[in-house]
Amino acid sequence: MNKKYIYLTVISTFITFCVVALGAYTRLSNAGLGCPDWPGCYGFLTVPNTADELKAAANAFPGSTVEPFKAWIEMIHRYFASSLGLLVIGLLYFALRKRVEEVPKKLTVALFVLILLQGKLGMLTVTMNLQPFIVMGHLLGGFTILALLSMHCFYIFTPEKRFLVSPPKIPTRLSEISLIVLVLQIALGGWVAANYAAPHCVGLPICENIHLFSVESLFHLPIGELNYEYGVLPFETRLSIHMVHRVWAVVTVLTLGIWAWYVLTNSKEKLLKNTASLLIAGLVLQLFLGALIVHLQFPILITLFHNLMAACLLIVSLFLWFLLAYKSTEEAV
């Protein structure tokens, strides 16, 4: 295989993980509108800092005040995202020139299309002033790009035939259900973040004001506002959103835990057993982090780690599914 393609794939995956981390930090530090325009910042390619630049920014955006710290967070996120776009174009070049047989071409084409859509969502996130549906879509787009690039790595680095010995009889539907449950939990986490709902549910294991929980309030949608920064939904709706996220977290841990345990106890292959063990350890750590965040009143760094652990769980779960799906394909042949 072309070594340049391997390096490009690995770097792209690493940059994507950085973009996901920077996006999470941007949300957590309330820097989503650090730059009120797109793709620049107050009309500049960098954050304005000279007297003339600040004057020009004030004239162009009279309702905004330059906050250098937030603006730089947002711009660094954009720089990394733009770099990722260029890297994916490089991957598409390799795919279309048919220089890579190990990775399905449609996977790279889908990745390129998604990068274009993600760029559009990034623009709308700013121009629509952090509309929660757009913010959550942007978050899911980032996770999906990470998943697709991880799949590229799986195809490149998973040694053929090595793990295709006495495959465990794992129900295919269990693997698929587990992935769906995890994706829904990530989406719920994104919905919590997009609506600034985390601090509205304190106390463990349930919210202190649980009597305010209402299924009906969940249908109170954040629409029709000029600006959505810091959230616009009423307290009880945000509490309910957060509580649903917690309940589904339990469902996620149980579902993925059962799946991983089934693989662990029914497989004799080291690669599968190690992956399943890693998934179980990740689930326990993620559950602990969630509880710690609430106990410590939502510190940014631990919350950021919680976000990144969700990305890691997605990658590990996807790899476990990939191994099992690959086995099933080989068996059928």
Active site residue ranges: 74
Rounded to the nearest angstrom, the gap between the alpha carbon of residue 43 and the centroid of all alpha carbons in its chain is: 29
E-only strand ranges, 52-94:
none
DSSP string for 181-202: HHHHHHHHHHHHHHTT-GGG--
Residue 314 token pair: 């997605």
C-alpha–C-alpha distance, residues 163 and 271, integer Å: 7
Amino acid at 162: R
Instruction: Give the sign of the dihedral formed by CA 97, CA 79, CA 6, CA 178.
Output: negative
Q: Give the H or E element holding residue 236.
A: helix 235-266
C-alpha–C-alpha distance, residues 190 and 311, integer Å: 12
- Residues in Cβ contact with 209 at an 8 Å cutoff, skipping those fewer than 6 apart: 239
**Helix, strand, or coil (residue 45):** coil
C-alpha–C-alpha distance, residues 116 and 121, integer Å: 9
